[in-house]
Amino acid sequence: MNQKVDNAEKKILNFLLQEKTNENESNFSNTKLSIKNENNDNINNRKNNNINLERTFICKLCGKIYSSYPALYNHRKQKHNSIKTRERGRPRKNSGETNAEKLKYNPLDSSYFLKENRIGKTNLNDFEKSINQSFNQIYSNNKKFFIKQNLIYYQNINQHPFLKQYLFDKHDLYIKIVNEKEISDNVFIDYLNKISLLVNPKYFIKIITFITLFREFVNIKKKNKENNTIINNYIEYTSINSAENLPLLSNEFINDFLENDYLLFDLEKEETINLVQNFCNWLYINKFTSFKLILISQENCENKS
């Protein structure tokens, strides 16, 4: 879980999926692998596959994905003018996290939440306030976003089936889910409860916001796939299905659903990517899914290109 990646500062947060091949396996590989399901079918060859593994290089400035590093390089040079020749003199000071910090706060495990602005604990007394603030963060002044995404716009928390239930069940903090086929909504709540023990109330609001948005995306994606246009008769996917296939939608959530709208929800793209990694790896470790995300470093991609 604490696998070190050389030149972590240059790594591209890029997701591939691999079927679990070893019950005790916990490390993430840096090798590009195909996706296979339990029937050993190659998911890469499916026409309706949501994950395009041939496009694996993400532009961190705009989120576009390319099939090779040279293509990404040319895009950054032409569109963002972000490729500069090395100049003489002292290197520019990096205002972001150092390599050591990025390795210390690994998004693949709970160490990610040890950073000063995240660490803490959300007590039961803080739950109601955090849930309500998250709802306001998502839905206040963001009606255009939900219309654009063809999502239901909830005017108050009592209309929201997931957050209303979570608000009602907030006292069940220490209940552990042991059923691996548990429905997704209960798995979401289990994850939120576990993380609440690690983060302060302010950061917990971000976690609730992230999970709620990801849940909304999963449901609208599945609804559109079924061509179900009658909202009132639609039973939400996450309320009746397990979490097995949730990682398969992670790329589209990051690059298509939120696109450039992260700031509407007090999120940043890199932070959202880290939270996606953390959540999906938690699903895999706890056997809620047989799929896992694999982090590909930019250096490894350059060496292979």
Residues 279 and 305 both lie in one domain:
no
Which residue carries 């042991």 as its tokens?
Answer: 178
Residue 94 domain flag = no
Residues 215 and 267 both lie in one domain:
yes
Residues 251 and 192 both lie in one domain:
yes
Which residue carries 């690994």 as its tokens?
Answer: 106
195-242 pLDDT, tens digit per residue, is: 999 999 999 999 999 999 999 999 999 887 665 444 446 789 999 999
What is the rounded distance in angstroms from the CA atom of residue 166 to the CA atom of residue 59?
A: 36
Q: Please say whether the beta carbons of 18 and 258 come within 8 A.
A: no
Residues 162 and 282 both lie in one domain:
yes
Q: Please say whether the beta carbons of 217 and 228 come within 8 A.
A: no
Residues 56 and 173 both lie in one domain:
no
Other CB atoms within 10 Å distance of the CB of residue 177: 16
229-262 pLDDT, tens digit per residue, is: 444 467 899 999 999 999 999 989 988 888 878 8
pTM: predicted TM-score of the whole model, two decimal places: 0.68
Residues 114 and 251 both lie in one domain:
yes
Alpha carbon 114 to its chain centroid, in Å, reads: 18
| Residue 128, C-beta contacts closer than 8 angstroms, at least 6 positions apart | 167, 170
Whether 135 has a pLDDT exceeding 90, the answer reads: yes
Is the four-CA dihedral 235, 241, 245, 250 of positive or negative sign? positive
Q: What is the pLDDT of residue 98?
A: 63
| Residue 21, C-beta contacts closer than 8 angstroms, at least 6 positions apart | none
Residues 305 and 191 both lie in one domain:
no
Q: What is the pLDDT of residue 78?
A: 79
* Domain count of the fold of the chain: 2
Whether 131 has a pLDDT exceeding 90, the answer reads: yes
Residue 92 domain flag = no
Residues 118 and 242 both lie in one domain:
yes
3-state secondary structure of 16: strand
Which residue carries 């694996």 as its tokens?
Answer: 56
Residue 287 zone, left/alpha/beta (φ > 0; ψ -120 to 50; rest): left
Ranked by mean pLDDT, the top range of 11-15, 144-148, 167-171 is 144-148
Confidence of residue 26 (pLDDT cuts 50, 70, 90): very low
Rg of the chain over all Cα atoms, to the nearest angstrom: 20
Residues 120 and 79 both lie in one domain:
no
Q: Please say whether the beta carbons of 158 and 152 come within 8 A.
A: no
Domain of 146?
110-288
Residue 89 domain flag = no
Residues 117 and 228 both lie in one domain:
yes
Q: Please say whether the beta carbons of 237 and 219 come within 8 A.
A: yes
Q: What is the pLDDT of residue 56?
A: 52
What is the rounded distance in angstroms from the CA atom of residue 301 to the CA atom of residue 58?
A: 12
Residue 37 domain flag = yes
The H or E element spanning position 208 is helix 201-225
Residue scoring higher pLDDT (6 or 243): 243
Tell me which residue of 221, 213, 224 sits closest to 245, measured CA to CA.
Answer: 221
259-274 pLDDT, tens digit per residue, is: 878 889 999 988 999 9
What is the rounded distance in angstroms from the CA atom of residue 237 to the CA atom of residue 221?
A: 9
Residue 123 domain flag = yes
Residues 219 and 172 both lie in one domain:
yes
What is the rounded distance in angstroms from the CA atom of residue 289 to the CA atom of residue 93?
A: 41
State how far the alpha carbon of 153 is from the alpha carbons of 40, 148, 191, in Å.
Answer: 40, 11, 25
Whether 14 has a pLDDT exceeding 60, the answer reads: no
Residues 36 and 169 both lie in one domain:
no
